[in-house]
C-alpha cells in the first residue's frame, strides 16, 4: 500500500544522535509513512544504528558520500508518498508533527511547502531560544526574498510540486544553503506556510555546517536573493542597487546615498505588487510582509545616517540609540 508520507532522513557520521532522531519519527501519532534513511557513506556506527531497527516502514539507501542535496534528490526519486517530510539526523520531531502537517496540507491543497516552529536545544540541553518564522503565505512570500523563512528539518512538501519546481540544487556553489534555493522556486508558483506550533526540536551543534560555513552561506543566500528579485522587477534595476537593498534588509553593512532609499522602496513596492497579482487571496498578509520590510528598510537607513554623524560626536551614538530603544520598550 502506498504511504501518505515519505520521511527523508539523510545521515553522514551521525551516530551521536541518530537513534533518537529515528525514534522520534517511529513514535509519530500519524503512522502512514515510510522512512527513507540515506546512509551517505558514513564511516562511524551510523549504518549499524539504522539497521538495528525492526520496522517495515524503514528503507535504508546506502551510497558513497555524495553530500546532502544529492542524497535528498536520490531519496525523493525513490519516495512513494504524496507528501515529503524532512528530518535531520540530529533533530527530534515531536509526536504530533506529521499529523498536524498532514491535516493542514489536506485542508489547503494550494499549499506546497509547510514548515513549523521549533525550539532550540544545545547538544543535549534545552535552551530558552526558539525559531519562530512568519506563518502566513503572503507574509512569507515577501520576506522570503531576503530571509530563509523555514526550518529545513521541519518542512513537509507536496511531491507533485517538485515536478514543476525541480529538486534540490546539486551545484557546489549552492550548497549550503540548498534549501533556500528550493523554497524560492516553490514560492513562485505555490502557497507556502508555517504552522504556529512547536513541532520540532532543532539541535544546535558547535561543528555544524551552518556555523562552520556561515559567511559562505550568507554570501550564497544574497546571490539567490538577487536572482529572485531580478525576476520580479520591471523595468530592471541596477544590480548594485539590488545588492545594497539586500544588505540593508539583512542588517549587513552597506553604503548608499539618502536618495537611493526611494529606489529601494520602489523595489519593495514592485515585489509586493508582483505577489499581489499572483496571490490575490493573500492580500492582507502580503501587505503585512511589505509593511514589515519597509520598516526594516527605514531602520537600516536611520542607522546609516546616524553612523555618518557619529565621528563628529564625543560619544558613541549607536550604543546610545540602542539604550534609548530598550528604555522605550520597557
Reported as a single tens digit per residue, the pLDDT across 75-134 is: 999 999 999 999 999 999 999 999 999 999 999 999 999 999 999 999 888 999 999 999
Question: What domains does the chain contain, in order, with CATH numbers?
Answer: 1-90 (3.90.550.10), 215-310 (no CATH)
Q: What is residue 235's predicted lDDT score, i.e. its pLDDT?
A: 80
Residue 152 in contact with residue 8, Cβ under 8 Å?
no
Nearest 5°: the CA angle 42, 172, 201 is 55
- The pTM of this model reads 0.91
The mean per-residue pLDDT over the stretch 241-267 comes to 91
pLDDT, one tens digit per residue, over 296-322 is 999 999 888 776 665 555 555 556 556
Residue 192 in contact with residue 104, Cβ under 8 Å?
no
Beta-carbon contacts of residue 72 (< 8 Å; ≥ 6 apart): 8, 10, 38, 86, 167, 168
- Gyration radius from the chain CA atoms: 21
High-pLDDT (> 90) share of the chain, %: 79
Q: What is residue 254's predicted lDDT score, i.e. its pLDDT?
A: 85
Q: What is residue 330's predicted lDDT score, i.e. its pLDDT?
A: 55
Q: Are strands 111-122 and 191-204 parallel, antiparallel or unpaired?
A: parallel
Given a cut of 70, is residue 17 above it in pLDDT? yes
Q: What is residue 12's predicted lDDT score, i.e. its pLDDT?
A: 97
pLDDT category at 325 given cuts 50, 70, 90 is low
Which of the two residues, 325 and 193, has the higher pLDDT score? Answer: 193
pLDDT, one tens digit per residue, over 172-183 is 888 889 999 999
Q: What is residue 248's predicted lDDT score, i.e. its pLDDT?
A: 94
What mean pLDDT is reported for the chain? 92
| Distance (Å, whole) CA 117 – CA 89 | 18
Residue 193 in contact with residue 207, Cβ under 8 Å?
no
Q: What is residue 256's predicted lDDT score, i.e. its pLDDT?
A: 84
Beta-carbon contacts of residue 52 (< 8 Å; ≥ 6 apart): none
Amino acid at each position: 500500500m502506498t504511504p501518505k508520507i515519505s520521511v527523508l532522513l539523510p545521515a553522514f557520521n551521525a551516530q551521536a544522535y541518530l537513534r533518537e532522531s529515528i525514534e522520534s519519527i517511529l513514535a509519530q501519532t500519524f503512522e502512514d509513512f515510510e522512512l527513507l534513511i540515506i546512509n551517505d557513506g558514513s564511516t562511524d556506527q551510523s549504518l549499524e544504528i539504522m539497521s538495528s531497527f525492526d520496522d517495515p516502514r524503514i528503507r535504508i539507501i546506502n551510497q558513497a558520500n555524495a553530500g546532502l542535496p544529492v542524497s535528498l534528490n536520490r531519496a525523493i526519486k525513490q519516495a512513494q508518498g504524496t507528501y515529503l517530510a524532512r528530518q535531520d539526523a540530529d533533530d527530534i520531531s515531536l509526536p504530533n508533527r506529521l499529523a498536524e502537517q498532514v491535516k493542514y496540507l489536506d485542508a489547503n491543497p494550494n499549499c506546497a511547502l509547510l514548515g513549523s516552529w521549533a525550539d532550540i536545544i544545545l547538544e543535549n540541553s534545552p535552551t530558552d531560544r526558539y525559531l519562530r518564522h512568519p506563518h502566513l503565505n503572503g507574509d512569507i512570500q515577501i520576506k522570503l526574498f531576503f530571509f530563509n523563512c523555514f526550518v529545513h528539518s521541519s518542512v513537509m512538501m507536496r511531491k507533485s510540486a517538485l515536478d514543476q519546481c525541480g529538486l534540490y540544487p546539486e551545484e557546489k556553489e549552492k550548497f549550503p544553503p540548498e534549501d533556500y534555493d528550493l523554497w524560492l522556486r516553490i514560492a513562485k508558483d505555490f502557497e507556502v506556510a508555517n504552522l504556529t506550533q512547536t513541532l520540532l526540536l532543532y539541535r544546535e551543534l558547535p561543528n555544524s555546517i551552518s556555523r562552520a560555513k556561515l559567511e559562505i552561506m550568507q554570501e550564497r543566500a544574497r546571490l539567490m536573493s538577487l536572482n529572485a528579485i531580478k525576476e520580479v522587477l520591471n523595468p530592471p534595476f541596477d544590480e548594485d542597487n539590488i545588492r545594497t537593498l539586500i544588505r540593508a534588509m539583512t542588517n549587513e553593512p552597506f553604503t548608499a546615498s539618502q536618495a537611493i532609499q526611494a529606489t529601494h522602496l520602489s523595489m519593495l513596492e514592485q515585489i509586493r505588487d508582483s505577489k499581489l497579482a499572483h496571490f490575490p487571496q493573500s492580500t492582507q498578509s502580503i501587505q503585512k510582509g511589505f509593511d514589515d520590510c519597509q520598516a526594516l528598510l527605514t531602520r537600516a537607513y536611520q542607522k546609516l545616517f546616524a553612523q555618518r554623524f557619529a565621528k563628529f560626536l564625543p560619544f558613541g551614538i549607536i550604543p546610545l540609540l540602542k539604550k534609548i530603544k530598550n528604555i522605550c520598550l520597557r
